[in-house]
Each structure stands twice: as C-alpha cells, then as structure tokens.
Chain A
C-alpha cells in the first residue's frame, strides 16, 4: 500500500497548474506596454483613446443631427412613451430608434472601445448571457468601433457599433425566441434606416442614418461573416 501523503502534496500531484496560452501572454504584454508607455500612468485615458478621436471627428455633426432628430421624433411621437395600442413591431422600432439616438449622446456610444473583435466579444461575457458573433468588416469599409450594453424591451441587448464614413451603425442583437428564423425586413423612420433579420437563434437590428443600399450591404456582410465564424 502506498504511503499516505498530505493533502497539499496530493493536490499538487493530481491537479494541473496551467500556463497562460502564448497568444494571451503576448496580447497582455502588448496591453501592458501600451499602458506603461503613458507617462504618468493613467489607465482611464489609455483605455479610451478611440472615443475621443471619434468624438472629435463627428461630435458637431452628431450633435446637430441629434437636435433635429429629437425635435422630429418628439413631434412624430417616435420618442414618446409608446402606448398599448401600438403594435409590437412599431413599438420595437420606436425603442430601437430611441436606443440609436440615445447612443449618440456624448459618452453613450461605447462601453468598450476597440477595433479588435477579440476584445469586444469577451467584453460581453462579463455583462450578459449574450455571446455575440463579432465580425471584422474594416476591409469592407465598416470599421468596428466597439460595443455597448443596452437595455431594450425589458432585457439587456448587445450593441456592436460600426462606422461607415461619418455614419454610426448600431447593430443590436439578443437571443431570438425558439425556431424564429426570418428574412430581412426594413423600416425607415424619420431619417433612420432600420434593418431586421433573425438567424442562428439571434435577433438582429441594424440602425443608422445610412441610406438603405449601404445598410443592406452592411447587413449582408454581417450575415456572410457570421455564418463563417464558429459560434462560441
């Protein structure tokens, strides 16, 4: 019979101690160097370089658009609380436009700023049960700006934010009811273009002030790439 060992020794013999994968180590070192190069070290500023750049680019345009949109939206009832007589679809659409407009308020667009989908996707893991497929479309002219957690129809939804020239695209997604699989449908509301589809158990809404052909191109690229990207 083997001699009995103490618990610590038994555990150290039996249980693996892992080494962080090389890719993770390399990435972490990169992040560390970025931070350490800042002097004096100020994590908050380093973590948020993109927001300031985006806002410098577009804050006036967005602010001006926002005033007009808010005025038009209020007048048309889009931004008012939606009554019970409203159909589910138009109610959803109103909320989506609302979410899009809200996201354009200063400081509301992004919770995680990164053009790297490997940064954006895991970010959601800590906040929600949604594991969005994040696709990289920068070479198609739709760079990723980052992600945000939003709240819509009494549930958290994932928002992925892309850019087309000076236009911001909100791609909102959340798990679809079982068996839901639907083709696109499009809505135009007060200058905003909305495009909706359901696939692989996820409901998608793309919202922007882009024109319809360009938003449709964006949607097709997302669908194509998502189909090629393995699910988590």
Chain B
C-alpha cells in the first residue's frame, strides 16, 4: 500500500507526521482485533497516546512509531480475551477481488476461490506469525520496520516470517509460488 495516503501536505507537525498513517494503523488493527468496532477504538486510543507522547518522537520513522502504538493498544486490550488467536480474526470483509472482465467465467471463479483460500490460510496463522506476514507482505514493511513495530529482534522477525511462509506453503502450495520454502 502507498505510504502517503491521507491528508494533503500542510497542517502542523503531528498532522503531517502521523495522520498519513491512520489507514495503515486501522488496517493493522483490523487484522489484530478482527472487527471494525474494536479496530476503531484501538486506533482512537492509539491517536490519544500518540498525541500525548508525540514530543518523544525524534528522528524515527513516524509510521513504524505509530504502528507500534496501535499494536500495543491492540495487544493490551485484546490479548487476555483471545490468547491463542484461533478465533481472533475472521477476515470477513471481501478483498479487493480485482476481476478482469475479459477473463472467462470459470477463471474468475477460480481466482475468487484462490483468494478465499489465501484469506482462510492467513486467518489460521497464530497472531504473531500473522501480524509479521501482514506487515511484511501487505503493508510492505522492511524487516527492520517489522522488528521495530513488533518490538522483537530482527532475527525473531525472520524466524516468524519463515514459519508463517512454511505454514502458508503447506496450505497453498498448489496455487501460490513459495520459491524454495515449499
């Protein structure tokens, strides 16, 4: 996803630094909490915290900083309720489903079916693996950013990503190319 969605340039320092990442924060919260109401509450709380602690943000990447706050809010709020995360996210919102109308109907059906399988597979990942792969593949974060946001060493990120890929490969190897993981 683009990193510069959101408000036009202008506004104050906080507005320019943090608000462009509101939707990235909301997306992360959706994947961590699994529903819109909790995600909205979490992002709202994250903004309040960001406002309060903004003076502590120096030269770091504001996006990673804000996503770290969103993640902390999500985990402190929802960890106790959903320790295993097996029922945590049901990705019930339909994906982008870019349908090319020149495709044959059976090709469209197959594409939608594949998308559903990818959603189900990601859905089944344990939360820590899921957030790593979502940040990396969906939000295009670097390894260093994933490490900063999830507050673990980069080696742990690599290990989580590799475990996530291995699990996904087990479920999706016939439709997704995993390179040498599968």
Structural contact, A18 and B51, CB atoms closer than 8 A: no
Question: Which residues of chain B are within 8 angstroms of A129 by Cβ–Cβ distance?
Answer: 80-81
Q: Which residues of A sit under 8 angstroms from B91, Cβ to Cβ?
A: 15-16
The chain A residue sitting closest to B175, CB to CB, is: A4
> What's the Cα separation between A33 and B10 when bound, in Å?
11
Q: Is A42 an interface residue (CB 8 A)?
A: yes
Interchain Cβ contacts under 8 Å between A and B, 5 examples: A4-B177, A7-B177, A13-B118, A31-B51, A36-B13
Give the tally of cross-chain contacts (CB within 8 A).
173
The secondary structure that dominates the B interface is: helix
Residue of B whose beta carbon sits closest to that of A3? B177
A23-B94 Cα distance, complex, nearest whole Å:
22
Contacts A14-B115, A15-B134, A21-B40 hold; do A36 and B11 have CB atoms under 8 A apart? yes
> Is residue A76 within 8 Å, beta carbon to beta carbon, of the partner chain?
no
Tier of interface size on chain A: 35 or more
Q: Which range contains the number of B residues in contact with the other chain? A: 35 or more
Contact B1 A41 (CB under 8 A): no
In the bound complex, CA of A21 to CA of B30 (Å): 12
A34 to B47, CA, bound (A): 12
Instruction: Judge whether A83 is part of the interface by a CB distance below 8 angstroms.
Output: no
B37 touches A232 (CB 8 A): yes
Q: Which residues of B contact A13 (CB under 8 A)?
A: 95-98, 111, 115, 118
Which residue on chain B has the smallest CB distance to residue A32? Answer: B15
Indicate whether A119 reaches chain B with its CB closer than 8 angstroms: yes
Q: How far is the CA of A174 from the CA of B72 in the complex (A)?
A: 24
Which of B77, B116, B179 lies at the interface centre, i.e. has the most chain A CB atoms within 10 A of its CB?
B77
Tell me which residues across on chain B come within 8 A of A41, comparing CB atoms.
12-14, 54-55
What residues of A have a CB within 8 angstroms of the CB of B14 in the complex?
A: 32, 35-36, 41
Kindly supply a per-residue 1/0 record for chain A positions 7-34, scoring 1 wherever the CB is within 8 Å of any chain B CB and 0 otherwise: 1101111111111110011011101111
Cα of A19 to Cα of B138 in the assembled complex, Å: 14
